[in-house]
């Protein structure tokens, strides 16, 4: 949701259009779209051979009508025809330097990188007024991998880490709330925090509301990628759990050398509990985050102009 609304917000900033003239859709119902003059694929791990083929079909195999901004590969093995389409797209901006380097190694010289689109939507996300932090309140976000039986030891250790961080703060007199970014997060939190006095917020599909929830706590324990992004944007100190490689890539690109616990650190439940008792909250440099916001706005502006020019010339 945050990606979609931010993409729409940035488009409206850069085009002389009314809000009713900018459509917000998912790739999963692409076949029901009207044929557009142009498509901006706005972010996330969405690129597979199949999704690229769907986009290609929808623009009559004319890659000049498509701009990819702030995207990731959902699968590494992209077939030759899909790579050819990406290589001729109006813009191709991955949301990590690692992904861009991978595509350039495959011959896609147009592949560049930029921060995640949501960094460009801070003004939109924070549009509901002043956010006041609540002292001694810990926010947490849980992803469903914590209760996935197929996850085996990983799920158990991740759950142990979360419970240990929460217990540590409860013992120090803190209140704890869970902030879901999907309905599945809410269900996972009920299982993980069973028996602990954790307030479980209901899932709401409003990015600005969720931003306020994550920004009004004194500390936050993010798991989902965008829960980490929200904490960075709001300068909220974090004790992160890096549950996926994209979270590691975000820190490597913009906050190199940052020590954080995650899936790559898990060995034993005992180690998780030890880390939870010792980890100090991280604070991200505000000026660097502001530069990331400016970079997104500049990159999107350039991509939209290039796309508009291609459509006019076509």
Report DSSP state, residue 282. B
Q: How many CB atoms lie within 10 A of CB 151?
A: 16
Tens-digit pLDDT profile for residues 17-60: 677 666 666 777 877 777 878 888 887 889 999 999 999 999 99
Query: Residue 151 has what pLDDT?
Result: 66
Encode 248-265 in three state secondary structure.
HHHHHHHCCCCCCEECCC
Q: What is the pLDDT of residue 63?
A: 95
pLDDT at 270: 61
Using alpha carbons only, how large is the chain's radius of gyration in Å? 20
Percent of the chain clearing pLDDT 70 (strictly above) = 87
Pairing assessment for the beta strands 39-47 and 198-200 based on DSSP bridges = unpaired
pLDDT given for residue 128 in this prediction: 60
CA–CA gap between residue 47 and residue 77 (Å, rounded): 10
The dihedrals phi and psi of 262, each to the nearest 5 degrees, come to: -170, -165
Task: Please count the other Cβ atoms lying within 10 Å of the Cβ belonging to residue 101.
Answer: 12
- The structural domains of the chain, ordered by start, are 2-114+292-313 (no CATH), 128-283 (3.40.50)
CB 89 within 8 A of CB 306: no
- Reading the block at residue 163, the tokens are 């419970």
Q: Which residues in the chain show pLDDT less than 70? A: 1-9, 11-12, 14-17, 20-25, 124, 126-130, 150-151, 266-270, 313-314
CA distance 187 to 202: 10
């Amino acid at each position: 949701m945050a990606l979609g609304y931010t993409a729409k917000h940035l488009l409206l900033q850069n085009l002389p259009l009314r809000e009713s003239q900018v459509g917000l859709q998912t790739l999963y119902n692409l076949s029901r779209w009207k044929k557009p003059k142009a498509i901006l694929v706005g972010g996330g791990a969405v690129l597979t051979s199949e999704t690229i083929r769907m986009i290609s079909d929808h623009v009559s195999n004319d890659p000049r009508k498509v701009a990819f901004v702030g995207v990731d590969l959902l699968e590494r093995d992209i077939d030759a025809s899909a790579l050819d389409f990406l290589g001729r797209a109006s813009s191709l901006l991955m949301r990590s330097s690692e992904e861009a380097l991978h595509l350039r190694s495959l011959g896609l010289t147009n592949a560049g990188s930029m921060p995640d689109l949501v960094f460009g939507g801070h003004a939109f996300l924070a549009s509901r007024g002043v956010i006041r932090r609540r002292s001694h309140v810990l926010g947490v976000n849980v992803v469903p991998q914590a209760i996935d039986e197929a996850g085996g030891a990983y799920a158990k250790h991740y759950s142990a880490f979360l419970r240990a961080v929460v217990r540590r703060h409860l013992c120090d007199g803190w209140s704890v709330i869970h902030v879901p970014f999907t309905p599945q997060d809410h269900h996972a939190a009920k299982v993980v925090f069973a028996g602990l006095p954790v307030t479980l917020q209901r899932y709401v599909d409003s990015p600005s509301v969720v931003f306020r929830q994550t920004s009004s706590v004194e500390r936050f324990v993010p798991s989902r990628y965008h829960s980490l992004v929200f904490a960075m944007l709001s300068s909220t100190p974090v004790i992160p759990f890096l549950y996926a490689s994209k979270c590691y890539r975000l820190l490597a690109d913009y906050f190199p050398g940052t020590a954080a616990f995650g899936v790559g650190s898990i060995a034993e439940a005992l180690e998780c509990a030890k880390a939870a008792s010792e980890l100090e909250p991280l604070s991200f440099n505000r000026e660097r985050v502001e530069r990331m916001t400016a970079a997104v706005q500049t990159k999107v502006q350039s991509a939209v102009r290039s796309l508009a020019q291609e459509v006019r010339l076509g």
